[in-house]
Homo-oligomer: A and B are copies of this chain.
Amino acid sequence: MGPRRALAYAQRNRPRFVEELKEFVRFPSVSSQPHHARDVRRCAAWLAAQLRRIGLDGVQSIATRGHPIVYGAWTRAPDKPTLLIYGHYDVQPADPEEEWESPPFAPAIRGNDLFGRGACDDKGQLLAQVKALECWLKTAGALPLNVRCLFEGEEEMGGGPNFAAFVGQNRRALRADAAVMSDTRMLGPNRPALTYAQRGMVRFALEVFGPREDLHSGNFGGAVMNPVQALCQILNGMHSSDGRVAIPGFYDRVRAWSERERAFMARSGPRDEEILRDAGVKAGWGEQGFTLYERLTLRPALTLNGISGGYTGPGLKASIPAKASARVSIRTVPDQQAREVEEMVRKHVEKLTPPGVTVRLRLLGSSEPAVVDRGHPALRAASAAYRLGFGVRPVLLRSGGSIPAVSLFREELGIPTSLMGFALPTDRIHAANERFHLPNFYRGIDTCIWNLTAAAALLRRGRSTDRAARATPR
């Protein structure tokens, strides 16, 4: 029995699926903002109810020290391989809210796009995977292979410890032969992409403290070190003028890739002008000797995500502020190690700190980079599914982003992840007016339906279906 009936069911139910996605987006499940903790919980409960309704077993919203993990499985085919489906139901903060054309948590359809925070990242893409399961279960009464759904509520916090601890503690109960997630980008509406590499991330909060309290800049300006000035000095010392990261030792472990790999990337990946167009800038920047695509994927990067200190509102506050702070994230690549990078940053910041201020550097989270063999059966299955769902062969891409689950699944479960994204470069994820292109939602569901068939055929069944496979994680 092929997926024909599942695909027909998908087509018939599109309007309802969109309504359900709108329900999902309506929860302001901003994991990083404590005042939204209840919204995150309510969103998890909604998602668990979804999984129950489509017919998964053992569905639960599992409490952690942070936000809940939503789990559900269908493991009734002991002779078939097992696929772990990952996604995250939490979202980025919505600010600056005033830049949204419609409120971030009041999903609105304009043209072919559904607007709302999380519409694309990752609620819409996650739901495409869930709806594919529904289409199978409601038409065939079964899935072509075993499936475990594992949906996180802390992904946008950037590698929080709770999800990692949970996976580590439930290695046996989570056994699978491969993982799949939809949380990455295509190149354009008809140009699907399968992502086989991710950068890691090491994130810091950097605070600079000067005088006990804000000082009048007339009475003290010129005789007291200013924390904003010290912060600018430190942050300016993070890069050298050639666009490279200036932290000593930073590039020591960065892998040099073969000319063959770079040639593959040049053929398959976006050209400089496409990246600049997507970014909305005229000129590129960064390390010489690499294409922009290489700078974003093969090469590490240090980004200043935010800075604040003193007063920048209307009018004047003529003060030397008592403190200033910044957020810094580093995207790492093989074979850099988060732990080592953290140490290098600490030493460098210490060296750059001028007298008269003190500095606090806090590690906010980290994840390691990950690369999946392009020839792995999970990726071949996903590629076949894209050809059937979108009508074209996907390009195999590296991503500059970081999804901690990818390296986590490799390290803890020993499985690769195929990154089947349905986001467009223009979907403005993490920005105001985030949107999800609804045709990608529909074709995404079809592609996920096909992926279950293809993965059932291509994945080798490992230990995923032994006794432990029927266990439920706790």
Q: Are B356 and A318 in contact (CB under 8 A)?
A: no
Does A327 sit at the interface, judged by CB under 8 A?
yes
Contact B296 A221 (CB under 8 A): yes
Cα of A285 to Cα of B321 in the assembled complex, Å: 15
Number of copies: 2
The interface size bin for chain A is: 35 or more
Interface positions of A from 402 to 436, Cβ below 8 Å from B: 402, 425, 428-433
Residues A331 and B429 in contact, CB atoms below 8 Å apart = no
A215-245 to B contact mask, C-beta < 8 Å, 1/0? 1111111111110110111011011000000
A268 contacts chain B at the CB level, 8 A cutoff:
no
Q: Which residues of B are found within 8 Å of A287, using beta-carbon distances?
A: 222
**CA gap between A309 and B307 in the complex, in Å:** 5
B285–A225 touching, CB < 8 Å: yes
Question: Which chain B residues lie closer than 8 Å to A216 at the CB level?
Answer: 401, 429-431
A232–B280 alpha-carbon span in the complex (Å)? 22
- Find chain B residues with CB under 8 A from A238 CB: 229
A316 to B366, CA, bound (A): 12
A-B contact pairs, 16 of them (CB 8 A): A92-B318, A93-B315, A95-B311, A156-B315, A216-B431, A217-B331, A218-B400, A219-B399, A220-B296, A221-B331, A226-B303, A229-B239, A303-B318, A304-B310, A308-B312, A319-B431
A residues lining the B interface (CB < 8 Å): 30-34, 92-93, 95, 99, 156-158, 185, 199, 201, 203, 205, 210-226, 228-229, 231-233, 235-236, 238-239, 275, 278-287, 292, 295-296, 299-321, 324-327, 329, 331, 354-356, 364-365, 399-402, 425, 428-433
